[in-house]
Amino acid sequence: MKYTQLGRTGLKVSRLVLGTMNFGPQTDEADSHAIMDAALDAGINFFDTANVYGWGENKGRTESIIGNWFAQGGGRRDKVVLATKVYGNMGPDGGEVWPNHDKLSAVNIRRAVDASLKRLRTDYIDLYQFHHIDRNTPFEEIWQAIDVLVQQGKILYAGSSNFPGYKIAQANEIAARRGGTIGLVSEQCLYNLAERRAEMEVIPAAQDYGLGVIPWSPLHGGLLGGVIKKEVQGGRRASGRAAEALGDPAVRAQVQAYEDLLDKHGVEPGEAALAWLLTRPGVTGPIVGPRTAEQLASALRAVELELPRELLSGLDEIFPGPGPSPEAFAW
């Protein structure tokens, strides 16, 4: 496994991030534990989750699965850089929606972090991420709450997720003015070959402020994982976002060109999509969310995959991206 610094921090993290969103809803606890063991054995030390994972009446379940894995001992917790998120409503599902059980108020941050620590069966979180912007809570209040948590030893760093570039700048400028906090150290955003809008402002802002970029959905809902090839070879049809996207003839032609290019170079589509992200400026490591050990093994191969210049140029031709701003929309 290869490692890098998380943004401007001294924290060393693996170039692949183990995403756990499938743990509980699609992968049972025993298999989830086996995947985490395999990831750790392979050198992946960066695990990402969120308090709402498990979803619906089972929200929080994913954190509990991870906590039960930590409780098995063997140095598991000490070896892992643990990231979780706060924002989503954690009140009783299906019951009365009570105020202050979501978003980024100081009261909810305090409540949410204590609940996550309990489920995760640990006394600290390495990276506490804001899952979304909160338009109603000023950053002065958010940073005050974070400062308290850092002083209490409950969290070490704060990061953002799904933030636009101007909010990354605003958050860190206010943190700098207040003093006493390092500000945001990472941004977790939607970024892949088929969805490159983050290159316009989010990634440049992250680079300017020293944030590590953690792309989620690196295969764009499976669209970049060889969906057409799987249909032809095994009759396995695309589902969800990938199936919806392939309904557009232009998108299908684009994905076919992508798969044809990789077939020419003898590279598996899913591995190429991950390897491409690892070449991108500012990227710490993409989040991979394996449902099985086989999917984890495929992701691990991407770390060692060197994409030739000719292939990288071909990928840019198929998925050109918008380019940086303001040139992307002006001159």
- Considering the candidates 53, 157, 209, 258, report the single residue annotated as catalytic: 53
Residue 108 CB contacts under 8 Å (≥ 6 apart), including other chains: 86, 100, 101, 102
Q: Which residue from 83, 84, 15, 75 is spatially nearest to 44, judged by alpha carbons?
A: 15
Pair 254, 260: CB distance under 8 Å = no
Q: Please report, to the nearest 10 degrees, the dihedral formed by the alpha carbons of residues 79, 85, 128, 117 taken in order.
A: -70
Whether 166 is catalytic: no
HEC secondary structure over the chain = CCEEECCCCCCEEECCEEECCCECCCECHHHHHHHHHHHHHCCCCEEECCCCCCCHHHCCHHHHHHHHHHCCCCCHHHHCEEEEEECCCCCCCCCCCCCCCCCCCHHHHHHHHHHHHHHHCCCCEEEEEECCCCCCCCHHHHHHHHHHHHHHCCEEEEEEECCCHHHHHHHHHHHHHHCCCCCEEEEEEECECCECHHHCCHHHHHHHCCCEEEEECCCCCCCCCCHHHHHHHHCCCCCHHHHHHHCCHHHHHHHHHHHHHHHHHCCCHHHHHHHHHHCCCCECCCEECCCCHHHHHHHHHHHCCCCCHHHHHHHHHHCCCCCCCCCCCCC
Q: Is the omega angle on the peptide bond into residue 326 within 30 degrees of 0, that is, cis? A: yes
Catalytically active residues are: 53
